Amino acid sequence: MPANVHADTVTPSIYEATITQSKQSTGKVTFKNEGSTPIVISPKTSAYDPKTLQLISDEKKLFLVLDKETYTVQPNDSLILNYEIKPPSNLAPGTYFNLIILQKISSTDATVQKNQLGTVDTLSQLVTIHILEDQTTFPLQIKSDFAQISFEIIEPGVPFLKPMSIKYIYQNNTNYVLQPQGEIQMFDTKSSYSPEYRQINVTGTKLYPGDTIEETVEIKKWHFSDILFGRKVVGRFYNGIDQSTIIKDATQNSYIAYLAVPLAVLILAIAFTRSILADRKKTKD
């Protein structure tokens, strides 16, 4: 029979904090030995780029301080490591990442253990910090123009036949990693009914500095008042860090003009049908 496999755990796997320049904070990581033998752990820290999944050797981007000792963790026991978050004073406002890497060390010869794939056997915690400018006002904000956003109605739709389509492009203008949030509201220009809502970025995509997300949203529901009064669409966009908001809007005039052509075709069809029927009646007479 196959041997039982025990998966050691680190909690939380991700820790996120928002601090101001020249300020400090604290955090902790918990390692649990789920196996049946003691484990020797050696922690280390490194700057990290989650976009490329690469460790960064630049010590100027290290902001974690913890004791670099070795710890023995008994079976079914846990180790709690407390650490300090001390960003260097010259670290500009923005989003930064460090890893706390827990290497497993052989208790017999003090060498780094490797797993079955031949790679170093480690677990880690990702620590993310958002450094904000040291401001005297409250609440703290990264910047009001955190994104360049274009917002437009690319397909007005046809009442009760074809949905309206709205497109937005959101580009990160900051030194932070943003997770766009917000909603698109649609209602007639007289606000005669409750707005239709659509959430943006439902997949939770994160944008690194300069990155862009583009999305098209469809609104299929129609109201009779849309035909008379037209529609207004409002987009409210957030950055996922603070409460800063960018609002965009677009308007589609009444749809009466869109109905003029089919209405004219209908009138002509009725007139043509009546003409044919009249001619047939004359022929019979």
In tens, the pLDDT along 73-95 reads 999 999 999 999 999 988 999 99
197 vs 119: which has the higher pLDDT: 197
The CATH number of the structural domain formed by 147-254 is 2.60.40.10
DSSP 30-90: EEE--SSS-EEEEEEEEEEETTTTEEE--GGG--EE-----EEE-TT-EEEEEEEE---TT
> Average pLDDT, whole number, for the chain?
86
pLDDT at position 200: 97
Residue of 36, 142, 26, 21 whose CA lies nearest to 84: 26
In tens, the pLDDT along 200-219 reads 999 999 999 999 999 999 99
Are the C-beta atoms of 127 and 27 separated by less than 8 Å?
Answer: yes
Rounded mean pLDDT, 39-64 = 92
Q: Residue 168 burial (CB < 10 Å; 0-12/13-18/19+)?
A: buried
Is residue 223 very low, low, confident or very high in pLDDT (cuts 50, 70, 90)? very high
pLDDT at position 88: 92
What superfamily would CATH give domain 9-132? Immunoglobulins (2.60.40.10)
Residue 232 has pLDDT above 90, yes or no: yes
pLDDT at position 1: 33
Domain definitions of the chain by residue range: 9-132, 147-254
Is residue 120 very low, low, confident or very high in pLDDT (cuts 50, 70, 90)? very low
**Predicted model pTM:** 0.79
Residue of 110, 97, 102, 99 whose CA lies nearest to 79: 102
Q: How many CA atoms lie within 13 A of 170 on its CB side?
A: 26
DSSP state for residue 17 in the 8-state scheme: E
Amino acid at 247: I
